[in-house]
């Protein structure tokens, strides 16, 4: 069975995702607002840009730094980063995006803090930019990882219930999810990186009508 949905798209547009935090390299706390420093209406002096999915209060910094080739310029201060995460959890954050500078070239720092957080907070959903979007340029990588973290708890619940319903009905065969590019993926991968499914509904409609 192949399944496509607009559930995650709607959650993103309607701002009905999880309470999401962002942990990033010191100095890049405002990357979601700075973006590419472009305006969709160049000469509009009163333009209102969309608010980031993560409010500034829930965007925290970790002391660490990698060079563009992945070389460690400043080792990760794990204890300090964990303290920031502890404060986020106390404030009710349910899902965390981790995006360190140049982690596409070296994911060691992201994986180290991700593993430490997962050990301490089993109920906290964690999305690493080196897993979600291991690409150059911090804004696109950060915004994609934040979107993934924002909808991931919803995706995990929804897909688990869908699998249970199919088993209860005795429907044979495996379940596959349609990706935004028209491809397919397994349920486990869809739960881990649901941002890949944001346009799965329209993609399925286009394929069905072709």
pLDDT for position 173: 80
8 Å CB contact between 156 and 126: no
pLDDT for position 143: 98
* CA dist list (Å): 146 to 101, 141, 143, 163, 202: 15, 9, 5, 26, 22
pLDDT for position 80: 98
Distance CA 91, CA 59 (A): 12
pLDDT for position 46: 87
pLDDT in tens, 58-95: 999 999 999 999 999 999 999 999 999 999 999 999 99
Report the side by side order of strands in the sheet with 59-62.
Answer: 59-62, 20-25, 95-99, 125-128
pLDDT for position 177: 96
DSSP 131-150: HH---S-HHHHHHHHHHHHH
pLDDT for position 140: 96
pLDDT for position 208: 86
Cα end-to-end span (Å), the chain: 19
3-class secondary-structure state, position 60: strand
* CA dist list (Å): 42 to 49, 58, 124: 12, 30, 40
Q: Which residues of the chain have pLDDT under 50?
A: none
Q: Residue 138 phi/psi, 5° resolution?
A: -75, -30
Distance CA 30, CA 138 (A): 11
Q: Residue 99 phi/psi, 5° resolution?
A: -140, 105
pLDDT for position 41: 81
């Amino acid at each position: 069975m192949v399944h496509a949905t607009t559930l995650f798209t709607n959650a993103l547009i309607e701002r009905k995702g999880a309470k999401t935090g962002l942990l990033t390299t010191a100095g890049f706390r405002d990357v979601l607002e700075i973006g590419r420093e472009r305006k969709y209406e160049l000469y509009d002096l009163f333009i209102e840009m969309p608010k980031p999915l993560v409010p500034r209060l829930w965007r925290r910094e970790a002391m660490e730094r990698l060079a563009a080739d992945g070389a460690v310029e400043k080792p990760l201060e794990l204890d300090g980063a964990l303290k920031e995460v502890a404060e986020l959890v106390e404030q009710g954050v349910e899902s965390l995006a981790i995006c360190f500078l140049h982690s596409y070239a070296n994911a060691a720092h992201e994986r180290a803090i991700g593993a430490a957080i997962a050990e301490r907070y089993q109920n906290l959903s964690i999305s690493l930019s080196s897993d979600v979007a291991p690409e150059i340029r911090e804004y696109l990588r950060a915004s994609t990882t934040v979107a993934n973290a924002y909808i991931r708890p919803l995706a995990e619940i929804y897909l688990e219930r869908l699998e249970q319903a199919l088993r209860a009905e005795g429907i044979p065969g495996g379940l596959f999810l349609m990706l935004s590019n028209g491809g397919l993926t397994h349920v486990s991968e869809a739960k881990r990186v649901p941002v890949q499914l944001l346009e799965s509904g329209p993609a399925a409609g286009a394929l069905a009508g072709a």
